[in-house]
Amino acid sequence: MKILIVEDEPKTGDYLKQGLVEAGFSVDLLRDGTDGLHHALTESFDLAILDVMLPGLDGWGILGGIRRAGKDMPVLFLTARDAVDDRVKGLELGADDYLVKPFAFSELLARVRTLLRRGAKTTGAEFLRVADLELDLLRRRVTRAGKRIDLTAKEFALLELLLRRQGEVLPRSLIASQVWDMNFDSDTNVIEVAVRRLRAKVDDSFEPKLIRTVRGMGYVLENPLCA
């Protein structure tokens, strides 16, 4: 699941991003309100976490822009200001939740999960499935043929990407940028190793094999019985 953070304070932004990535989410962090709104409208996110006071455009402005564009992703506000007025204004504008700084990361994570669960219920996007493989996006759990499979956060993100785009050949460069946040040139070996490990866990002791290498192109996940 993909989360957008717009926060201009470097420490808070980096801390949030790191924590959420470690929890298995894919995160884009922006520092400026105008860029943040543009990103919210051009990319697809399951949740936005917005600071109120931002350069460019404030958090209210971003929220207004998101809602005017008809996007109903949940929005969580972060702010140092805890005035009742702000809270009311945020909720009136269509914010889903409000967290006052400073906050414990565990509390943020709990709110994030609640909002994602609520969002997933309306879109039905709580699980991703192919054949007998199932990803539980909120609990970050994977099962195949009913058996629990333990994946690292990166393996989970990789499998989620392959599943979301099943049937599509994903080039290594795309996998590198989406899962590792890095350029193709950095180290493609990282991807090969990760795919091998992922296959060992989700494919080796099961049939049919779901992840396939397309030589010279990349990787594809599909149910060969339906392809």
Asked if residue 222 binds Ca ion (CB under 5 A), the reply is no
The residue range among 46-54, 66-74, 116-124, 141-149 that interacts with Ca ion, by the rule CB under 5 A, is 46-54
Supply 120's token pair. 């997933």
Asked if residue 8 binds Ca ion (CB under 5 A), the reply is yes
The residue range among 2-10, 17-25, 64-72, 174-182 that interacts with Ca ion, by the rule CB under 5 A, is 2-10
* Binding-residue total with Ca ion (CB under 5 A): 3
Asked if residue 86 binds Ca ion (CB under 5 A), the reply is no
- Nearest-5° Cα angle at 46, 45 to 47: 95
Three-state SS string across 5-21, please? EECCCHHHHHHHHHHHH
The residue range among 44-52, 57-65, 115-123, 144-152 that interacts with Ca ion, by the rule CB under 5 A, is 44-52
Q: At what angle do helices 33-42 and 59-68 cross, to 10 degrees?
A: 20
- Which positions ≥6 away from 24 have C-beta within 8 Å? 140, 153, 156, 157
- Label residue 184 left, alpha or beta by phi (over 0 means left) and psi (-120 to 50 means alpha): alpha
Beta carbon of residue 12, minimum distance to Ca ion (angstroms, whole number): 8
Q: At what angle do helices 10-22 and 105-123 cross, to 10 degrees?
A: 60
Beta carbon of residue 54, minimum distance to Ca ion (angstroms, whole number): 5
Q: Which is nearer to Ca ion, 30 or 211 (CB)?
A: 30
The residue range among 15-23, 45-53, 97-105, 165-173 that interacts with Ca ion, by the rule CB under 5 A, is 45-53
Asked if residue 53 binds Ca ion (CB under 5 A), the reply is yes
Q: Please report how many Cα atoms fall inside a 13 Å half-sphere around the Cα of residue 188, on the Cβ side.
A: 10
Which of 17, 26, 36, 51: binder of Ca ion (CB under 5 A)? Answer: 51
Strands of 218-221's sheet in order across: 170-171, 218-221, 211-214
Beta carbon of residue 115, minimum distance to Ca ion (angstroms, whole number): 21
The residue range among 6-14, 38-46, 123-131, 152-160 that interacts with Ca ion, by the rule CB under 5 A, is 6-14
Asked if residue 33 binds Ca ion (CB under 5 A), the reply is no
- Nearest-5° Cα angle at 128, 24 to 2: 40
Contacting positions for Ca ion (CB under 5 A): 8, 51, 53
